[in-house]
Amino acid sequence: EKGGYEHFMIKEIHEQPKAIKDTMTSRIIPDSDEIKLDDIKLTSDDIKNIDKIFIVACGTAYHAGIVGKYVIEKLARIPVEVDIASEFRYRDPIINERTLMIVVSQSGETADTLAALREAKKSGARVIAVTNVVGSSAAREADDIFYTWAGPEIAVASTKAYTTQLISMYIIGLYLARLNGNMSVEEYRTIRDEMIQLPEKVEKLLEEKEELQKFADRNHMHKDMFYLGRGLDNAVALEGALKLKEISYIHAEAYAAGELKHGPIALIDDGIPVIALATQGELFEKMVSNIKEVVTRGAKVIAFALEGNTDIEKVAEQVVYLPKTISLLTPILSVVPLQLLSYYVAVTRGCDVDKPRNLAKSVTVE
Ligand code: F6R
């Protein structure tokens, strides 16, 4: 049932091109300007009435929500707040009939996420559930549904569910932007055509394992690692650090790179591994300076950058290049080598990657 793979996690990492394709097909159609969302019934008038969006979730799904905030605000120009479900439900958030809530949950059964959904509905919000399980509680209780078609995810650490959740954020963002008049058809076509190429680019990335294995061989005995990024890279850094913590039990911290000098740079000392993401074109030079800052203090940096940005080799010890795409879509690509990196580190350490200690696949208690 592991299809020749040693663990479910690595099998599911390799299933991502298909999962992404399945989640896009039928919704984003080549040569068509229409976005088809069968289970979302929001009309153009409904969307114009929305003055605020909450994305609420836990864990990895919350990290997909952080990307969702960037994407939806950028495309649809509607203010978005992202919340951890167990915080949202106890903090008396401001919700009314003009609020749209998006809950993101692979299982559709996470107790805190469901409680937040119910809270929002009680206050009159419209709720979209992004979930991977047909007929799950989240799907049944929400007004609208976006199914991620990742297929069953067995490994405790979420991989293909996350990338399909990212796809849901892009598609919902595009949908809102088209219907509220914030995006021209030309802009839509540019993003659509780039999205359609993503499965192939992920496929290509899955072949690049050498640098990551080398990183694992060199660094698996370290007790701490840092993840740095700016903008969307920061959101992906959070997910990368969570993956490493969960399956390898190494302490990992993700920081917005601009925050370094406000405290965490004090932790950088000789030999500490730093995983730096530098995929955001307009922030590239800033990331290069941040990498220099940590290298000067002894950090060993593995950097992730888009093909062609070879300047990064002047500062980083190791570089992994990602196929080129637009800045908005890089999270789909950059998270894949981070998943592999965690996997190789955990395997090299001899950890039980599919069933990490203390964790359950679905958290149905509060
Ligand atoms: C991490 C992980 C968890 C889940 C979280 C939410 O790899 O799997 O952080 O993302 O427990 O679960 P769902 O999405 O089922 O609500």
Mean pLDDT by 10 residues, the chain (366 residues): 95 98 97 96 94 98 98 98 95 96 98 97 97 98 98 97 98 97 97 98 95 96 97 98 97 96 91 97 96 96 97 97 98 98 98 91 84
Does the Cβ of 110 fall within 6 Å of ligand 1?
A: yes
Does the Cβ of 363 fall within 6 Å of ligand 1?
A: yes
Does the Cβ of 105 fall within 6 Å of ligand 1?
A: yes
Does the Cβ of 362 fall within 6 Å of ligand 1?
A: yes
Which helix (H) or strand (E) segment holds residue 18: the answer is helix 16-24
Q: What is the pLDDT of residue 173?
A: 98
Tell which one of 67, 84, 89, 158 to mutate to probe ligand 1, the residue whose CB is within 8 A of the most ligand atoms.
158
Question: Nearest to residue 330, comparing CAs of 309, 301, 353?
Answer: 309
Does the Cβ of 58 fall within 6 Å of ligand 1?
A: yes
Q: What is the pLDDT of residue 22?
A: 98
Please check whether residue 69 is in contact with residue 85, taking contact to mean a CB–CB distance below 8 angstroms.
no
Q: Which residues are catalytic?
A: 361
Tell me, in angstroms, the distance from the centre of ligand 1 to residue 202's CA.
22
Please check whether residue 300 is in contact with residue 272, taking contact to mean a CB–CB distance below 8 angstroms.
yes
Tell me, in angstroms, the distance from the centre of ligand 1 to residue 5's CA.
23
Task: Give the span between the Cα atoms of 327 and 42, in whole angstroms.
Answer: 28
Q: What is the pLDDT of residue 221?
A: 95
Measured from the Cα of 113, ligand 1's closest atom is 16
Task: Decide: residue 348, CB within 10 A, 0-12 exposed, 13-18 middle, 19+ buried.
Answer: middle
Please check whether residue 123 is in contact with residue 140, taking contact to mean a CB–CB distance below 8 angstroms.
no
Dihedral sign, Cα of residue 278, residue 338, residue 204, residue 191: negative
Tell me, in angstroms, the distance from the centre of ligand 1 to residue 86's CA.
13
Measured from the Cα of 138, ligand 1's closest atom is 16
Tell me, in angstroms, the distance from the centre of ligand 1 to residue 156's CA.
8
Tell me, in angstroms, the distance from the centre of ligand 1 to residue 137's CA.
15
ipTM of the complex: 0.99
Measured from the Cα of 57, ligand 1's closest atom is 16
Measured from the Cα of 131, ligand 1's closest atom is 14
Question: Nearest to residue 55, comparing CAs of 163, 192, 166, 151?
Answer: 166
Does the Cβ of 158 fall within 6 Å of ligand 1?
A: yes
Tell me, in angstroms, the distance from the centre of ligand 1 to residue 336's CA.
17
Does the Cβ of 113 fall within 6 Å of ligand 1?
A: yes
